[in-house]
């Protein structure tokens, strides 16, 4: 067993490895200025430790910015577990990770992320109370993420299209898993015209089955999604999809969806701005799940969580207005607002 603490430019990194269990864990804490660092636990394959360290560091910083603009009393942190080829025992693996989280004394609180699930959170909870998103804490993060995205899309439509209603607004949703499907259903209720796309046919069909009028929903092949002319492009699949090769094809007025790290690089946000496409910064619009997992376990009612999540629309309105007044890309304005809270 081996544990260590190191400091990088932006984060404190706590590492723990145990060849017997196969656990190789890195917890990155970016900031605890606003409260204990909260962020999910990702358990995926990485080519090497450097790649895992880079990922966890970037994600932890993103969580600080997200919590700051969501008005949550939490700092930014994240953990990555370098996924073993096979788990010797998945339960004890996550219980051991729980012990590692516990050893930080509450500076970091973990939750679900890519490659982990509610059962894993239950196993972690056997060793620490610094975990949320377990089967009995009442959190439903995807529902609140989708609500926040809906409010964000409405704010963007008001700003860019001067329209108060979603009636007839054409939204293309890329990825109709937990968040995208819930978003499609809410938008349908508001009279929006919906197109959906997913690389997984079963997920696509499951979404269609939940829609009131599936015949009116257009299904777009994954490769054609960027060329689809629409009002709103809502990326709800994976990150990095706003990149130089896709950007030239985009024919939308607004980009607003739940996916994390939508911009492959900062300059993509500048290009969106130059093209006149209004971009709702990802970590602002997708904060509903964080709001849910940070408040519900502390006894805050769903009604209050709903109110706080809807405020994502107000925050985005402020970002859109400032971006217009200062002629700056929206992601730049959002970063400046978060940094004002975190560093001043």
Contacting positions for ligand NAD (CB under 6 A)? 141-142, 145, 174-175, 177-180, 197-200, 203, 222, 236-239, 258-260, 286, 289
Name the minimum Å distance from CB 105 to ligand NAD. Answer: 27
Residue 149 DSSP SS3: helix
Examine the residue annotation and report whether 78 is marked as an active-site residue of this protein: yes
Name the minimum Å distance from CB 327 to ligand NAD. Answer: 29
Catalytic residue among 61, 66, 78, 308: 78
Name the minimum Å distance from CB 3 to ligand NAD. Answer: 28
Angle at 71 between CA 156 and CA 158, to 5 degrees: 10
Hey, CA dihedral for 69, 71, 72, 74, is it positive or negative? positive
Place of tokens 């544990």: 3
- Cα gap 301→33, rounded to integer Å: 25
Task: Mark residue 276 as left, alpha or beta (left: phi above 0; alpha: psi -120 to 50; beta: remaining).
Answer: left
Task: Tell me which DSSP letter residue 263 carries.
Answer: B
- Cα gap 338→250, rounded to integer Å: 28
- Tokens representing 271 are 């290009």
* 177 versus 214: smaller Cβ distance to ligand NAD: 177
- Tokens representing 252 are 């939308």
Angle at 25 between CA 19 and CA 27, to 5 degrees: 155
* 27 versus 181: smaller Cβ distance to ligand NAD: 181
* 23 versus 173: smaller Cβ distance to ligand NAD: 173
* 104 versus 143: smaller Cβ distance to ligand NAD: 143
* 104 versus 182: smaller Cβ distance to ligand NAD: 182
Name the minimum Å distance from CB 249 to ligand NAD. Answer: 14
Name the minimum Å distance from CB 58 to ligand NAD. Answer: 13
In this structure, the chain runs to a length of 344
* 157 versus 285: smaller Cβ distance to ligand NAD: 285
Contact 156, 278 (CB under 8 A): yes
- Residue sitting closest to ligand NAD (CB): 177
What distances in angstroms separate CA 81 from CA 25, 27, 98, 194, 338, one per listed residue? 4, 9, 12, 37, 28
What is the radius of gyration, based on Cα positions, of the chain? 20
Residues with catalytic roles:
78
């Amino acid at each position: 067993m081996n544990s260590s603490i190191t400091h990088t430019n932006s984060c404190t990194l706590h590492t723990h490895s145990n060849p017997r269990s196969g656990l190789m864990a890195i917890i990155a804490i970016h900031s605890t200025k606003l409260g204990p660092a909260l962020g999910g636990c990702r358990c995926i394959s990485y080519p090497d430790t450097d790649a895992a360290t880079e990922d966890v560091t970037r994600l932890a910083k993103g969580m600080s910015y997200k919590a700051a603009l969501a008005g949550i009393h939490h700092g930014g942190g994240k953990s990555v577990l370098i996924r073993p080829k096979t788990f010797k025992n998945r339960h004890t693996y996550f219980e051991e990770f729980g012990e590692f989280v516990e050893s930080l004394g509450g500076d970091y609180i973990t939750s679900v992320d890519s490659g982990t699930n509610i059962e894993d959170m239950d196993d972690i909870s056997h060793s620490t109370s610094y975990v949320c998103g377990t089967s009995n804490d009442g959190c439903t993060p995807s529902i609140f993420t989708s609500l926040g995205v809906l409010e964000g899309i409405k704010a963007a439509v008001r700003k860019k299209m001067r329209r108060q209603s979603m009636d007839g607004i054409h939204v293309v949703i890329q990825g109709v898993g937990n968040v995208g499907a819930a978003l499609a259903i809410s938008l349908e209720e508001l009279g929006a015209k919906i197109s959906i796309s997913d690389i997984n046919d079963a997920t696509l069909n499951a979404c269609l089955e939940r829609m009131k009028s599936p015949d009116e929903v257009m299904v777009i092949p994954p490769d054609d999604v960027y060329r689809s002319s629409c009002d709103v492009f809502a990326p709800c699949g994976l990150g990095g999809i706003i990149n130089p090769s896709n950007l030239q094809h985009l024919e939308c007025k607004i980009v607003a969806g739940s996916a994390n790290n939508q911009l492959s690089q900062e300059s993509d946000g500048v290009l969106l701005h130059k093209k006149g496409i209004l971009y709702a910064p990802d970590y602002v619009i997708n904060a509903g799940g964080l709001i849910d997992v940070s408040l519900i376990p502390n006894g805050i009612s769903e009604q209050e969580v709903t109110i706080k999540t809807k405020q994502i629309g107000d925050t985005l309105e402020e970002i859109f207005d400032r971006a217009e007044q200062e002629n700056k890309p929206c992601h730049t304005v959002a970063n400046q607002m978060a940094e004002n809270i975190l560093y001043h």
